[in-house]
A and B are shown apart, each in its own frame.
Chain A
């Protein structure tokens, strides 16, 4: 079946511009997660959604970052006034959201963001 998809796969933007990253989770998965990974670094948790609600936004690095999810499906991560330190791979994952299975996360291929 279809896995998690993300778009665009690559994005080059100028410092100060806004960018929008999209994630399509696996159909039926109630939980959706955003992470970012800098070169050679581990995954940094940004935010997760349970349905359309985001109970934990503590990982968002600054108020330039926001995310939403609609219809319990597609999610967008928006970065306003991008900075060079925002350059990273942004990964989306989804999971069934069932107790005991929340750690079974299925990742998309990521969006590689480069801020020049």
Chain B
């Protein structure tokens, strides 16, 4: 079983819509969670950390559900520039330096 699993999508949404997707992780003792975004043929960039109580950064809201071992990302008022692949990232059980990356969820926002 992969450490981090994501629905690859794609999620095709119109501009202005809300889109949400989850990822699940296998190690119940994981402590650190992140969302990264990766544009086509570019390097990943940190979007936001995910905190236990949930957190918001502008139009982006991240939630953590430890009981069910999933993380969610919600994008409100989608912009064309939000089109990207969103990577769910969890720290390794044994090593805080080592991150496990999901394969990504692709979001395409259309005009």
Chain A residues packing against B (C-beta within 8 Å)? 31, 33, 35, 41-43, 45, 48, 50, 55-56, 91, 97, 99-100, 102-110
Contacts and interface: CB of A to CB of B under 8 A. Distances in A.
A43 B46 contact: no
Interface in B28-56: 32-34, 42-46, 49
A82 to B, nearest CB: 22
Nearest to A31: B97
Chain B contact residues, majority secondary structure: strand
Given A103-B49, A103-B89, A43 B97 contact: no
A104 B95 CA distance: 15
8 contacts: A35-B101, A42-B102, A45-B101, A48-B97, A48-B98, A56-B97, A102-B91, A103-B99
A102 B97 CA distance: 6
B101 A42 contact: yes
B32 A109 contact: no
Contacts of B96: 99, 102
A8 to B, nearest CB: 15
B108 to A, nearest CB: 15
B42 to A, nearest CB: 7
A45 B99 contact: yes
